[in-house]
Amino acid sequence: MKKKKNAVISVGLILLIIGVFAYVFTSDNSNNRTESDNESNSSFNEEASLSIEDVLNKNNEDLLKFIDTRKTVVFAIYGIDDKTTEEGRSDIIMVIKYDPTVKKMVIVSIPRDLRVDVPGYGMTKINHAYAYEGEQLINQVVEELLGVKLDFSVKLNFDTFSSIIDDVGGVEINAKKQFLYDDNSLAIDQGSQTLNGKDALFYVRFRSDSDVDYGRIGRQQEVVISLMEDLKSISTKEKIKLVTTYYDQGIKTDANLNKIIDYIKMSKADNDIVYENYRLPTYSEVIDGLWYELYRQEDLDMIKNLFDKKEEMNLENWK
């Protein structure tokens, strides 16, 4: 990277020298300058001489935009059921690590009924944290649970989730069985198929079977990966349009919009992404009349080890 940066600085210096030479040449050969022109040019020369380093830095910044400077990013996705309560609860909780140098994406799902210590509220379900105080509190809980610092988080409601899937033309899934509505009519048939937004939402939220949350998490990851693959097939312009359409309009994030757009522009070559998806293993138990998912420390440590290269993370300024 240092060699690339030095090369860019050299190019910037050459461009700057050419620009200054051109200016001096035209200034020396102009015979019809007015006095005001001379004063203006004199002022420009003085300003240029005083800020030559700033100009060079500006040239370097512009040139560096063409180089992929991305670092590993770690972020959380919360799918919010904002129709259940006034505040809404995080029905989907995913933590994603993406390393652009090796094009590897690690997806970790956390069961929404996981029993954790929520600061200020005690031991309760992790999805209650969002209902209590929103992203800031659930981010804190996730970070303390996994021992990682999030670069940012993304919250989207289910209507937005459905709309985005429709915008990209649906998602490919392979249903392992038939899924029925409450009246026993067929909702989704078994096998490979393309789901629209409404059906995809039903697919990831279905829990009326013996798989319960385990099945839901598997289907959520399947749809997210399928959506990621679909996004690779559309142009950078279309991706940016999607982001600008839903940014603060169904999608809420603490990441700066311009930072997201810059990241998208640098991701043109991210075609053969390797996906690894995990779920924090849990077991069920009823405590004080409530159903919880509990974890064993060794299982949590296994998940935490997926984020162990902290020196390579959280180096981007997303704010």
Q: pLDDT means per 10 residues in the chain (319 residues)? A: 44 44 42 47 49 53 64 93 59 93 95 96 95 93 95 93 94 96 95 97 88 88 94 90 93 94 89 94 95 97 85 62
Full strand arrangement of the beta sheet holding 152-157: 251-253, 152-157, 73-81, 89-99, 104-109, 274-279
| pLDDT (0 to 100) of residue 20 | 42
> Of the candidates 118, 279, 268, 132, which has an alpha carbon nearest to the alpha carbon of residue 211?
279
Instruction: Answer for the pair 93, 131: CB distance below 8 angstroms, yes or no.
Output: no
CB atoms within 10 A of CB 65: 11
| pLDDT (0 to 100) of residue 65 | 52
| pLDDT (0 to 100) of residue 86 | 42
